Homo-oligomer: A and B are copies of this chain.
């Protein structure tokens, strides 16, 4: 039925641009004669930054992809709905409910309330996701990686508590005994949005991850794919969470089609977001080759059959290839739909080419 089946692992904002590029490239390469594509595209979406906030369930990455593919996203701000307002959010601040530094747009809140109502009716997150996709014709199927709530928490040094200790020591004229620095844990959204990832992270913990199961359709979408693309999303909290769901990495390892990754790092800097703060926490260098090595070569027990880096990192690509991870370079900046589609095309070529080589 489908001429080619492409499955993408993706986080939110960076993932959205990339998936739009994939959709556009497929429409150009395999047109269906009516403006769409004869290719089947499935996106396995990160759920690690999902959160219950004031009794309402937010799935930010899923919604970013939904809005972006529907064309109702705010392209200037880079996230949320176009034409957004924050009337309810301002009221919640007045009531002292929620997190004052966390902004909920009104249109976005409509999505969250619909989702929450359906969850409370007993639907699973992936069933809710199906309903949400009925509103706009996306041309791409989105599936949350798991129906288990794997909200990410971040372990940080409790600087304030340490300062408190110091102050109270001074006040009392005593010398504070040296002790292990205090730690505290906060939801990823607090770390990311409130502290802009500036508090050094000591580690990440996705709740329930060991007991999580892939959402219905995820393993099938991987097993039946002609190529799996790893979007240039956060390797730790986005792609890392997807791969951490028991069964997903196994499905990727078992299936015959190639896995092609796209580097989220260009010239030693993150393309967007604050992935460097996450990489540092797990001891991975913020570089195209550092992340490539982190994912690893499939031939050596890792994830990737091929790794795509920016032309600025061509030297890294050569080094990785020499190490056993086939890597190539292409322009990775997604300035617009054309450059996103070209990048998607390069990744698809790398995958189908490497498949042809098998």
By a beta-carbon cutoff of 8 Å, the part of chain A in contact with chain B is 54-56, 85, 87-88, 90-92, 94-98, 106-107, 109-111, 113-114, 116-118, 120, 131-132, 135
Please tell me if the beta carbons of A94 and B55 are within 8 angstroms of each other in the complex: no
Say whether, besides A95-B135, A135-B95, A87 and B107 are in contact (CB < 8 Å): yes
Residues of chain B lying within 8 A (CB to CB) of residue A97:
113-114, 117-118
13 more A-B contacts (CB under 8 A) besides A94-B135, A95-B111, A95-B131? A54-B113, A54-B116, A55-B113, A55-B116, A85-B85, A87-B106, A88-B88, A88-B106, A88-B109, A90-B110, A97-B113, A97-B114, A106-B106
Cα–Cα distance between A97 and B135 once the two chains are bound (Å)? 12
Residues of chain B lying within 8 A (CB to CB) of residue A110:
87-88, 90-92, 94-95
Please tell me if the beta carbons of A114 and B95 are within 8 angstroms of each other in the complex: yes
Say whether, besides A87-B85, A120-B55, A92 and B106 are in contact (CB < 8 Å): no
Scoring A91, A92, A113, A132 by chain B CB atoms within 10 A of each residue's CB, the highest score goes to: A113
| 6 A-B contact pairs sorted by A residue (CB < 8 Å) | A54-B113, A54-B117, A88-B106, A91-B107, A95-B132, A106-B106
Residues of chain B lying within 8 A (CB to CB) of residue A54:
113-114, 116-117
Cα–Cα distance between A106 and B97 once the two chains are bound (Å)? 15
Please tell me if the beta carbons of B88 and A113 are within 8 angstroms of each other in the complex: yes
Q: Give the copy number.
A: 2
Chain B's closest residue to A107 (CB) is B91
Chain B's closest residue to A53 (CB) is B117
Cα–Cα distance between A114 and B54 once the two chains are bound (Å)? 7
Cα–Cα distance between A217 and B26 once the two chains are bound (Å)? 67
Residues of chain B lying within 8 A (CB to CB) of residue A132:
95
Cα–Cα distance between A106 and B113 once the two chains are bound (Å)? 13
Please tell me if the beta carbons of A91 and B117 are within 8 angstroms of each other in the complex: no
Interchain CB contact (< 8 A) of A92 among B94, B98, B114:
B114
Please tell me if the beta carbons of B107 and A92 are within 8 angstroms of each other in the complex: no
Chain B's closest residue to A56 (CB) is B113
Cα–Cα distance between A294 and B192 once the two chains are bound (Å)? 61
Please tell me if the beta carbons of B55 and A117 are within 8 angstroms of each other in the complex: yes
How far in angstroms is the closest Cβ of chain B from A225? 30
Say whether, besides A55-B55, A106-B106, A91 and B111 are in contact (CB < 8 Å): yes
Cα–Cα distance between A120 and B97 once the two chains are bound (Å)? 12
Please tell me if the beta carbons of A98 and B117 are within 8 angstroms of each other in the complex: yes
Residues of chain B lying within 8 A (CB to CB) of residue A114:
54, 91-92, 95-97
Cα–Cα distance between A98 and B132 once the two chains are bound (Å)? 15
Chain B's closest residue to A91 (CB) is B110
**What 7 A-B pairs come out closest when comparing CB atoms?**
A91-B110, A95-B114, A54-B117, A87-B106, A97-B114, A55-B120, A55-B117
Cα–Cα distance between A92 and B95 once the two chains are bound (Å)? 23
Residues of chain B lying within 8 A (CB to CB) of residue A106:
85, 87-88, 91, 106
Cα–Cα distance between A132 and B92 once the two chains are bound (Å)? 12
Cα–Cα distance between A92 and B55 once the two chains are bound (Å)? 17
Chain B's closest residue to A114 (CB) is B95
Cα–Cα distance between A111 and B88 once the two chains are bound (Å)? 9
How far in angstroms is the closest Cβ of chain B from A128? 10
Residues of chain B lying within 8 A (CB to CB) of residue A95:
110-111, 114, 131-132, 135
Chain B's closest residue to A118 (CB) is B97
How far in angstroms is the closest Cβ of chain B from A97? 4
How far in angstroms is the closest Cβ of chain B from A111? 7
